[in-house]
Structures are given as structure tokens and as C-alpha cells.
Amino acid sequence: MTGKTMARKAAIIGGGVIGGGWAARFLLNGWNVSVFDPDPQAERKIGEVLANARAALPALSDIPMSAEGKLSFAQTITEAVEGADYIQESVSERLDLKHRVFAQIQQSAELGTPIGSSTSGFKPSELQEGAANPSVIFVAHPFNPVYLLPLAEVVPSAKSDAKVIENAKTILREIGMFPLHVRKEIDAHIADRFLEAVWREALWLVKDGVATTEEIDEAIRMGFGLRWGQMGLFEIYRVAGGEAGMKHFMAQFGPCLTWPWTKLMDVPEFNDELVDLIAGQSDAQSGHHTIRELERIRDSNLIGFLRALKDRNWGAGKVLREHDDRRRAAFHAEGHGSEAAPLRLAQMQVLPGWIDYNGHMTESRYLFAASETSDAFLRLIGADMDYVAGGHSYYTAETHIMHLDEAKLGDRLVGTLQVLSADEKRLHVFMRIERDGAPVATIEQMLLHVDMAAGKTCPAAQSVLDRLLPIAKAHASLPKPEAAGRHVGQRK
């Protein structure tokens, strides 16, 4: 993405863990961000959250992130919200404080600007009480870390402006989030009601000496937590019902609902003894790590889990895929350049998993970059997955790579392709993998058009040739790349 359009502005009111996560999410998706928080340590705290986000969020994307927006710290709420296209309130969970903040915001914000609240408990109708314009205030409840987890519970009230809510949901999608529209306002929304139920039961298990904090965490992360992370609750139970499905599961386990298994309606007394018990076990479990270390461990684990889901286009991974697809489409909408020049076909960035023990891009990823570039070209000429499904494809017969420079973590790469020659059965191409316009590698390939069922070469479809041959003709006038035709070990 070139960033040709003027960056939009998000105002973040409250710069704690959640506010800092929102700031990072917007910034790394190309928005300018203005933060207001009277805490004298806010700038340091957000800087630390942002450092973690810079190391984590790009690892979920297969194409370069947008150019990072500009971060500023406002001295007043008025300064923060001036010219903002979206406002997110993340102050402490005190309703009187939130009301004062909304009143100040609406004195300066442009009419119709969405104002989301990160509240985990208050209903939007409670937030809107006494507001000058209640229709633009709604709940946008995220989950920590905001810069990695896609869920944002969007909760309107009867007074909410439907157009403002849809605009807010569009903005959240544009920064890679999944806006879950909660159809009916309720205390603690949806997700936190589950968490509260599990939390209460966990407190009893610790208080009654049944399990320690560590044992409870192991039960979650070694078992059902992994299932929930990719299928949720009802889909998992549907699978548990076997071939008969959910109806069988309900018939089999429904009677358990009347059994005295849980204490969800009976809350342990919240006193110093319980606090000391829980805190002491938690310190023994995790106290050898700093909070920042735990955050980085969490982020690394989430990246691995989310990328696995992304590879399978499932659950939260589907959200990541769609976010990449939108930004990839924007890249292609800018055009591939003139057909009288090598075509700009793919953009990538060097991810943590691409790095070898020397600290730069490993050899297999140069082939991957070439594949991304040649696949984009095949889609351009109509030899796409529908074409493959019809039984025909281009197979790579020969490849020669020259490594010209080191690509390192976070580098933004562009793949260009020049057609050296083409006929009915053969496609000879030369690709450059570039960083800032200079090649880090060149890849020369010969591809053969194949009848997949017969396992033999055959002429490409006329529709493909009609797109391919004009490009080949235009590229025939280009200078032949100096590296084209080289053999392994040939001196420069």
C-alpha cells in the first residue's frame, strides 16, 4: 500500500493497557492516533505496548502493513478529538467518569463521529445517559491484546444511529478486527459473561483446595481452551454429538444441567484471605517472569495459533485472511504498471518465520517470494485456481536464483516479473524481488503448460494466450536482464 490517501485520525481517550492496544492497532494499520491520558507515565506505557505490537502484529500478515501512522499525545480531550474520524474511550470503569469524558468529547468532536467505549460491563444505554448526542455512543469492547485479537463486541442501544454503527463496524474491519454485533444490550455483553462464570467457578476450586491456579490454567490450555480457540462452544458440542449431531448431544448431556456440578449462583466471600490465596499461587506460578516477558510469550503463542488458523482459513484466521485480501486488492487496484515494463505483481514482508540462524531471510523464502510473484502473474493471465480445477496448469520446470543482498526481519518486498519469451506451451520469465526498488534476489524460471490428467505438456487455452502473448510482445522490447541465462558459478 502506498499511502497516497491522507491518513485518517483516531482519538484514544485513556492510555492504559486497552487504550494502548487500540492505539497500536490503529497506528500499525496506517491511522494517525492522538492519545489523551493525564497519567504522566502514559507515554512510556504506550511506547512499551507499541514496541510489543510492532514485533507481533506484522507477523500475522503476509503482505506489508500500511505505513505506520503518526502518534501524538494531546494535552486535553479537545485537542485529541479535533478532526478525529473515530474515537475510542478506554478510561476506568466508573460510569460518572465516562459520562464526564463523553460530555467533553462531544463539545469538540465533529457531529456523527463514532464514539466507541471499551467498557466490559456497562450497557450502551447507561453510557448514553445525559449525552448531548447519545446516538453516536456505543460499546466497542475488545480483548487484550487489542492489537492481536480480532474480536470487538459492538453493542448499540435503541438510541443508536444505525449508520454510525455500520460506519464503526467498517472501520473496525479495516483495521483487521471482527466486529460482533450484539443484538440486545445486556450487562457484560456476551464474552465476559462466559469469562465471569468460569472465573467464579475457578475461585471456588482454589478456595476449596480442589486445584491451584496453575492446575486450573493447565486444564484450560491443555484441553478445551484449544478447542474453543478454533470452534467455539456450540460447534464443539455438535461434534461431540457424533453423527447424530447437536440433538444427540443435548439429549445425552442435558440432564446434567440439573446436577449440582457448579457453584455459579454461589459466590465465595471476597476477602483478604481469598485475595492472598489466589495472588500467592499466581506469584508462585508466574512470578519469575516480568509482565513484559509474559506479554511477549503470550504474543508469540497467539501468533503461532492464529497463523495456524489462517493457513486453514478458519475462525479468527479467516478474519486475518480477509484483512490481507482487502489490502492485497488495494495493492493490485493501483495497477501493475505499464506492460512495457516489468509488472509489479506481489508485495510481501519478511516475517519472523522467514529468518534463519544468520538473522536474514532463509533460502526457501526466496522461492516462496518467487512463487507469490509468478502465481500473481498466472492469475493475471487467467491461469488461476478455476483454470487448475479444469485440469490445466503451468508447472515450473527449471529455476535459477541469484542472491544479491540480505533481506531482514520486517523488510518490505515487491515482486516484479518480465516475460522473456512465451509460446503455446512454454513461459520463460525473469523475476526480481526488490526492497526499496533495489533487487535482493533475481529468479529466472521456465514453466510448462500441462494437461494434469495426462501428465503431458499441451497448448494453453486460447483465453490464456490472448492475455499472455500481448504481454510477451510488449516485454520483447525491454532490455534483456543481465542475469538472464546465467549458469551456476558463472563469474560476474
Examine the domain organization and report whether 419 and 459 are in the same domain: yes
Residues in a beta bridge with 173: none
Of the segments 168-172, 307-311, 408-412, which one has the largest average pLDDT value? 168-172
The number of folded domains in the chain is 3
Annotate 134-173 with DSSP letters as a single string: GGGEEEEEE-SSTTT--EEEEE--TTS-HHHHHHHHHHHH
Among 188, 205, 227, which residue terminates a domain?
188
The whole-chain average pLDDT of the chain stands at 92
Examine the domain organization and report whether 220 and 248 are in the same domain: yes
Cα gap 80→11, rounded to integer Å: 6
Lowest-confidence segment of 46-50, 264-268, 323-327, 365-369 by average pLDDT: 264-268
Cα gap 407→361, rounded to integer Å: 5
- In terms of Cβ atoms closer than 10 Å to its own Cβ (0-12, 13-18, 19+), residue 475 is buried
User: Which carries the bigger pLDDT value, residue 159 or residue 335?
Assistant: 159
Mean pLDDT of 335-340: 74
Mean pLDDT of 19-46: 96
> What CATH number is attached to the domain comprising 199?
1.10.1040.10
Digit-coded pLDDT (tens) for 204-260: 999 999 999 999 999 998 888 988 888 888 888 888 888 887 877 777 777 776 777
Examine the domain organization and report whether 107 and 224 are in the same domain: no
237 lies in some domain: yes
Among 139, 161, 188, which residue terminates a domain?
188
491 lies in some domain: no
Residues 6+ apart with CB under 8 A from 126: 95
Examine the domain organization and report whether 149 and 174 are in the same domain: yes
Cα gap 10→23, rounded to integer Å: 8
Write out the three cell numbers for 478: 525491454
Of the segments 245-254, 326-335, 461-470, which one has the largest average pLDDT value? 461-470
H-assigned helices in 29-94: 42-56, 77-81
Query: 317 in helix, strand or coil?
Result: helix
Q: Residue 15 pLDDT more than 50?
A: yes
Examine the domain organization and report whether 212 and 171 are in the same domain: no
Cα gap 460→405, rounded to integer Å: 36
456 lies in some domain: yes
Examine the domain organization and report whether 53 and 36 are in the same domain: yes
Mean pLDDT of 117-134: 96
Digit-coded pLDDT (tens) for 59-88: 999 888 889 999 999 999 999 999 999 999
Closest residue by Cα to residue 395 from 344, 331, 308, 454: 454
Residues 6+ apart with CB under 8 A from 11: 33, 34, 35, 36, 74, 80, 81, 84, 86, 87, 88, 105, 109
268 lies in some domain: yes
* Cis ω before 145 (30° cut-off from 0): yes
| pLDDT band at residue 3 using 50, 70 and 90 as cut-offs | very low
321 lies in some domain: no
The secondary structure element, H or E, covering residue 432 is strand 426-435
User: Which carries the bigger pLDDT value, residue 373 or residue 261?
Assistant: 373
Examine the domain organization and report whether 28 and 141 are in the same domain: yes
Within a 13 Å sphere around the CA of 407, how many CA atoms are in the beta-carbon half? 31
Q: What is the pTM of this model?
A: 0.84
> What CATH number is attached to the domain comprising 60?
3.40.50.720
Examine the domain organization and report whether 73 and 109 are in the same domain: yes
* Contact by Cβ (8 Å): 8, 70: no
What pLDDT does residue 459 have? Answer: 97
Cα gap 334→49, rounded to integer Å: 33
> What CATH number is attached to the domain comprising 450?
3.10.129.10
304 lies in some domain: no
* Contact by Cβ (8 Å): 21, 88: no
Examine the domain organization and report whether 173 and 27 are in the same domain: yes
Examine the domain organization and report whether 117 and 136 are in the same domain: yes
Percent of the chain past pLDDT 90, that is, above it, reads: 75
Residues 6+ apart with CB under 8 A from 294: 286
Parent domain of 419: 335-475
Examine the domain organization and report whether 375 and 416 are in the same domain: yes
Examine the domain organization and report whether 210 and 157 are in the same domain: no
296 lies in some domain: no
Cα gap 332→328, rounded to integer Å: 6
316 lies in some domain: no
